[in-house]
Amino acid sequence: MVFALLLTGFVFAGEFIFFKRTTLDEIITHMERARVIYLGEVHDSEEAHRLQLYVIRTLVERGHRIIIAMEMFQQQFQEYLDDYVEGIIDEEEMLGLTEYRERWRFDPELYAPIWRFARENRIRLFALNIPSELIREVREKGIENVKSGYLPPRIVLTTKEYEEFLRKAMEKHQGVDEKRFFDVQLAWDNGMAYRIAKLLAGNPDHKIVVLVGSGHVWRGYGIPERVNHFLGEVPQAVLYMDGDEAYFLFSKDFSRETSSANSMSEPN
């Protein structure tokens, strides 16, 4: 399988470089140098989830300590993911207690091989998404009027390039108010990036493998650029789907010693 067509004229977030055409195994070799590995997905794509599991399994087989952060679960339910991995509750109990079917709604069988692999190998799963209740509050009040422990104290705003991408995405939703649409995206991107930054600071010996919609990591914008904003440049790798193509990019700071992450402090 070949990934990453090098397309001239593409603009990426300032900290990221587009990678050459290459094979999946070569991509994983480059991923091994990253602290955060984003596996962007089309949520209902079986192929995307098989790819995610393959990357996760390969990293584990190569001896890396990883934790998996999943957009599919909301952060207030973290204890139930812990209980599931520890074998205290079974899969169906975990799905019920996390309200997965009500809050995410995609067929759990798409993701089940991933969380079953995590349980079998005692890999911690972390809920990445912010609560639906918070999103409703942001939509109703505007993000500038909402304070929450799930969001950073200061919201990192969008770039012009990312706004253009969001406007194209908004075309699929007729009658949507642009301000509200942007505010919700800001809440998601900032909230999930804030969570990842804390996970990095609290787990210096692990790689963070992030399962998230491709739109949140498109060309390095969204979540990855905000993680760098919160912590300074962090070695990050992004593999994501865009239509029928898969793309791979990595942060420019790969030449730095990744052990520098051990000195990270939790973001304010």
- Quick: pLDDT tens for 85-109: 999 999 999 999 999 999 999 999 9
Backbone angles phi, psi at 39, to 5 degrees: -115, 85
Residue 262 lies in a domain: no
CA-only gyration radius of the chain, Å:
18
Q: What is the pTM of this model?
A: 0.88
At 20, list the tokens: 């050459």
Sorted by sequence, the CB contacts under 8 Å of residue 260 that are 6+ apart come out as: none
> Letter for the amino acid at 68?
I
Whether the predicted pLDDT of 14 surpasses 60:
no
Residue 266 lies in a domain: no
pLDDT digits (tens, 9 = 90+) for 156-203: 998 888 899 899 888 887 778 999 999 999 999 999 999 999 999 999
Confirm if 246 and 28 have CB atoms less than 8 A apart.
no
Residue 264 lies in a domain: no
Alpha-carbon distance 120 to 86, whole Å?
A: 9
pLDDT at 248: 84
Residue 40 lies in a domain: no
Alpha-carbon distance 54 to 41, whole Å?
A: 14
pLDDT at 194: 98
Q: Which domain holds residue 171?
A: 2-34+45-254
When divided into structural domains, the chain yields a total of: 1
Sorted by sequence, the CB contacts under 8 Å of residue 95 that are 6+ apart come out as: 101, 108
Q: With cut-offs at 50, 70 and 90, classify the pLDDT of residue 265.
A: low
Residue 106 lies in a domain: yes
pLDDT at 246: 73
CATH at residue 75? 3.40.50
Residue 211 lies in a domain: yes
Determine the angle formed by the axes of helices 178-202 and 223-231, rounding to 10 degrees.
Answer: 50
Residue 236 lies in a domain: yes
Sorted by sequence, the CB contacts under 8 Å of residue 182 that are 6+ apart come out as: 158, 163, 166
Residue 108 lies in a domain: yes
pLDDT at 219: 86
